Structure 1
Amino acid sequence: MLFLSYMLFAVAWNWGDLYVRSLGFSASRTALMTNAITIAQVVGSLVAANVLLKVGPRWAFTIASGLIVFGGFVAVTDLFPLIFVIRFILGLGGALMVVLLSGIVARLLSGRALQIANGVNSVAFNTGLAVALTFGVSMNENPTFAVVLAASLSAVLLVLWLFVSRMGLRGAVQAQQATDDTYSMRDGFRNWFNWVFALAYTGLLSYYIVAFTFMDASTIRWVVYAGVIGALTGTLVSARVDDRHKPLIVVVCGALQILAAASVLALADHRLAVLVGVILGLVIFFPMPFFVQLAFIRPKVTPRQIAVTFSIFWAVSYAGSVVFIQLFAWIADATGGLGSDGTPVSVVPMIFIVIVESTFLIGTYMLWRWFTQQSALKGKVTTA
């Protein structure tokens, strides 16, 4: 239920983009309505951990699902202010939901089962994009219907959630109540790990949002398809890899991401474009289960601390992506705007977003060094 609900959020986001593009707005306004969702992700992520603590996982997730269903009302208007508000509400639901994914599974599962659940949930958004892009050509002919369909499917899942969660969450959450309910967002913001963890992802998230919003759909579709395979493969592999090796795997994939992103840009019109797109999707999403697991393998980490970490993670990364995406759009407008296919006329904004993507490599390298130091320190204590 968690996986399917967040998967449909991705579908609603993408098909909502189809509707927005059909209204003929400029690159800046199109980016701003995408940023309506990312701004909401910042707000929702900051409050998600506290919502989970106050109303419990069942009702917190119900609220998130309801907000996503409300996003379907964008189909009844073509007014920019209303579209912005409705998209904001959709993004707020997605923000609450993505933080709750980690918070709920951390209370229900542990060990290898927890790693697999996190890995599967990490591919939910990309799976939703794959579904949306697969049917995007037909939906593009009637974007209003697409938006309503996505909202209707989310409404069906919301009703099912109310029944399934009553049975699935009974007792299990009570048995694993966090013992550190006093750990606050303020404590989390003081933690060095949370900042680096979030900022590392900011560039990658910005690149990916720009990719599925402004890049050629025929290439990005293959990136998304390969991403689903990459994330599922990464989930299976990460469950078998020793924790001390996971940070290094993420760093290596971060370096490969920059090379692949640059290659996609350089070979956009080449016959190898699809192959390079597949490679890009693999190296972006294969390390995601490893990357997410970094928050769980910290020494003496608790479910409450994990919830706070992911609240900060999504808030900071989406806040950063708002800035980078808007800068991308301004550069695109200043260098010729968008072509008839919705992609930038100039290559300059694409070069900019590839450079931004490099924050993933920088941040994960810092985390790898930190984990290496922690392991060395632990070894000294054990020896003593």
Structure 2
Amino acid sequence: MQEQEKKVSSARAILIETVMFFTYAFFAVNWVAGSTLTPQIMKSFNLKSFASATFISNAITIAKIIGNFAAAGILVKLLPKKAIGLGSGLIVAGSVLALLAPQYWIFILGRFIMGFGGALYVVYFSPVVIHFFAPEKRPAVNAINNVAYNVGGIIAMLIVGPVIQWMQTWQYSMAFFAAISAVLFIVWPVLGQDFELNRSSGADTEKYTIGDALKEKNNWFLPLTYSGLLTFYIVLLNIFPISGITVINSKTLSTLVAVGGVVGSILAIMLSKVYFKRLPVIRWSGLAMILFGALMFNTKNGTLSMIAAFAIGVLMFLPITSLVMIPQEMPNMSPAKLTTIMGLFWALSYVIESIVFYLIGIVIDKSGYSAGLTIALVMSATFFIGSFILPETGRSAKEKNQ
């Protein structure tokens, strides 16, 4: 297949990427809005226990795991245009069902459907990248996709408060964000395009299943490496802001982590143009993240604490592009095979994160926030350790130019 046949026009590719990016970013906005509105939602459904409200988070997590496992099968059956449209449609449908829910269990079901759609969407980024973008452009596009959720979080920080104040009720507020997702869902059929799933950079590949993926050690090493960073990130967003253990407001530090993530993704794009190895970026970013995490949790200097928080965000997102490039650069990789690998990657990452997150909660109940946060920091070391067991798929600058 000629390169011209394989790639669509750059303008079409950029439009497809833009719609997908903002669809996932506003999935994040909707999720953050739902978390921010938890007190109103609890009051609306007459919930007295905060534990009951945690079912919302659990529904999203379970949906992500199931959706990640199912993503490859759905892609093969529906083909890319309809599969991606389904993910976008489920985000909208789940949002609408939740805001119209007459009972709490229907609200939970709506959030589950929304989470399932988001889980499909995050997996479908990878096959779209390797089909629509040339190899030299993929690191930059991956970096942009990796920060979509963070961008959504920052958008939420800026507009959720004003929207809630404007709309008054949680239903109207969530309807506002659902409407934006609906517009993106409507736009997708106009821009979306199907493509051949089993065509690799080498030759045609045979059907590749989850069972096949589970037999390959690298498909276990990838989520094991990422799970520690994912756990640390989720703890920083959900537990750290209410911990009160730092010298300055923990919410401020969490915001700096999010902003640092955006900067880290920008730096990843710049780095990808001059440095083509994968493991050193993962290794040294992982080590530095641990050191800055220890500094943020223990320093009594407010300025140092803020610098550390920003650095953690940068160091979390700088190496993610290198990590997701590893499966993309494997020999004879096709969109279908990559979707299966990335579905397994996200599913196992969230399974591990969910277990560790629950254990951290138990530790916090028994020993306090400092102990729980320390476990999260130690867990993040899997990113550093994984850099010694993953394969190096990148090349040196000299090899790249040959």
Q: What TM-score does the superposition give when structure 2 sets the normalisation length?
A: 0.81
Of the three residues 168, 176, 179, the one matched with 1:149 is 176
Per-residue CA deviations over 1:281-333 (Å, capped at 9, x if unaligned) read 11111111112111122233333221111011011001111212222233334
Question: Post-superposition shift, 1:32?
Answer: 4.1
Return the letter of the residue paired with 2:33: W
Distance in 2 of aligned mates of 1:81 and 1:224: 32
Maintained 8 Å contact 1:31/1:325: no
Maintained 8 Å contact 2:283/2:384: yes
Aligned residues: CA RMSD:
2.6
Return the letter of the residue paired with 1:225: V
1:84-95 matches, cutoff 5 A:
84-95=108-119
* More displaced stretch, 233-242 vs 23-32: 23-32
* More displaced stretch, 28-37 vs 183-192: 28-37
Maintained 8 Å contact 2:259/2:313: yes
Of the three residues 384, 390, 395, the one matched with 1:361 is 384
Question: Structure 2: which 5+ runs fail to align?
Answer: 1-18, 242-250
SS in 1 for 2:302: coil
Partner of 1:20: 38
Return the letter of the residue paired with 2:29: V
The answer to whether the aligner puts 1:278 opposite 2:310 as a matched pair is: yes
Structure 1 residues 27 and 362, CA, compared in 2 at 3 Å: closer, same or farther? farther
Distance in 2 of aligned mates of 1:355 and 1:127: 27
Count how many residue pairs are aligned between Structure 1 and Structure 2.
357
Partner of 1:341: none
Distance in 1 of aligned mates of 2:351 and 2:387: 19
Partner of 2:190: 163
Of the three residues 205, 224, 229, the one matched with 1:180 is 205
Structure 1 residues 355 and 115, CA, compared in 2 at 3 Å: closer, same or farther? same
The answer to whether the aligner puts 1:127 opposite 2:127 as a matched pair is: no
Partner of 1:202: 227
* More displaced stretch, 353-362 vs 89-98: 353-362
Distance in 2 of aligned mates of 1:269 and 1:30: 35
Structure 1 residues 308 and 289, CA, compared in 2 at 3 Å: closer, same or farther? same
SS in 2 for 1:277: helix
The answer to whether the aligner puts 1:62 opposite 2:85 as a matched pair is: yes
Q: What TM-score does the superposition give when structure 1 sets the normalisation length?
A: 0.85
Structure ranking higher on relative contact order (CA contacts 8 Å, 6+ apart): 1
The answer to whether the aligner puts 1:7 opposite 2:34 as a matched pair is: no
Identity of aligned residues (%): 26
SS in 2 for 1:347: helix
Per-residue CA deviations over 1:135-192 (Å, capped at 9, x if unaligned) read 3443565544442222111001000112121xxx26xx24984522511111111111
Distance in 1 of aligned mates of 2:300 and 2:335: 44
Return the letter of the residue paired with 1:95: A
* More displaced stretch, 103-112 vs 312-321: 103-112
Maintained 8 Å contact 1:11/1:150: yes
Question: Post-superposition shift, 1:98?
Answer: 0.5
Distance in 2 of aligned mates of 1:271 and 1:252: 24
The answer to whether the aligner puts 1:322 opposite 2:346 as a matched pair is: no
Question: Structure 1: which 5+ runs fail to align?
Answer: 336-344, 380-384
SS in 2 for 1:365: coil
SS in 1 for 2:89: helix
SS in 2 for 1:352: helix
Return the letter of the residue paired with 1:49: A
Return the letter of the residue paired with 1:93: G
The answer to whether the aligner puts 1:105 opposite 2:134 as a matched pair is: no
Of the three residues 251, 268, 287, the one matched with 1:234 is 268
Per-residue CA deviations over 1:2-30 (Å, capped at 9, x if unaligned) read 11111111111111111225437766545
Per-residue CA deviations over 1:110-132 (Å, capped at 9, x if unaligned) read 31122222221111111111111
Maintained 8 Å contact 1:61/1:100: yes
Maintained 8 Å contact 2:64/2:118: yes
Per-residue CA deviations over 1:335-382 (Å, capped at 9, x if unaligned) read 5xxxxxxxxx63222222222222222222221xx339x99xxx9xxx
